[in-house]
Homo-oligomer: A and B are copies of this chain.
Amino acid sequence: MREKKDGSVVVSTTVLYASRNLGVVEDKLQHPTAGRRDCRYLWMSPQVRVVPLTPGGKLVLIREFKYPNNDYFLGVPAGKKREGETIFAAAKRELEEETSYTTESFVDLGAFHPMAKTLQQDAGSVLALDVRPLSPHQYYNHDAYEKASISVILMDPAEVVAAVDASQLTDGQALAVLFKAFVHLGLVMPRQIPTQLAFSG
């Protein structure tokens, strides 16, 4: 489709960079009132992010080395959704691979766009309920690097909130899906913000 929802018409498309999982694209556009402009954006292959919850109400998070930022980050299990795989199958696989927990009980947390202005990606978010540790003989064979770089951390919601407040949980993807999960679980109270706070800072 050459005409977009804002009335822009695509004049030309140039693929600036492409690999199997990532592309950089530049479109030249003609807008009915704003004239010509260029729009450069990314696409990435489909992914799923999982918020796992134990029967006792703990969140199963991971601590993982994230190379581009040269540091360890608190986050949620996540990974590629393979061709033909349902969002729940991908969520179950990534949950098992990255945490050694599993479940059969999933809730789709709905549409999710990691960086809507910059990135075109099919990115799912899933709440995994009643997650329990796999028995040792069910363990997946992780590759050596993943084994060395991921640790599993159980936190209750109060600890997650404290970690967000203290900037110990700073990955935007984890923050976004945890917000969706907390809203779904009724942990975000939509009361009025005290006027005093709104005024004073």
Q: Which residues of A come within 8 Å of B, CB atoms?
A: 4-6, 8, 16-17, 19, 22, 24, 27, 29, 31, 33-35, 37, 39-44, 53-57, 64-73, 75, 78, 105-107, 110-120, 123, 129-130, 143-145, 148-149, 156-162, 164-165, 167, 170-173, 175-180, 182-185, 187-195, 197-201
Please state if A172 and B170 are interface contacts (CB–CB under 8 Å): no
Please state if B175 and A179 are interface contacts (CB–CB under 8 Å): yes
Known: A145-B31, A148-B31. A5 touches B71 (CB 8 A): yes
Helix, strand, loop or mixed for chain A's interface? Answer: mixed
Contact of A67 among B27, B105, B201 (CB under 8 A): B27
Contact of A188 among B115, B172, B184, B189 (CB under 8 A): B189
Contact of A164 among B42, B157, B179 (CB under 8 A): B179
Chain B residue at smallest Cβ distance from A165: B183
CB distance from A130 to the nearest CB of B (A): 6
Please state if B167 and A53 are interface contacts (CB–CB under 8 Å): no
Closest 6 CB pairs of A and B: A158-B190, A34-B145, A110-B167, A57-B193, A179-B179, A17-B17
Across-interface contacts of A175 in B (CB, < 8 A): 112, 175-177, 179-180
CB distance from A6 to the nearest CB of B (A): 4
Contact of A198 among B42, B54, B75 (CB under 8 A): B54
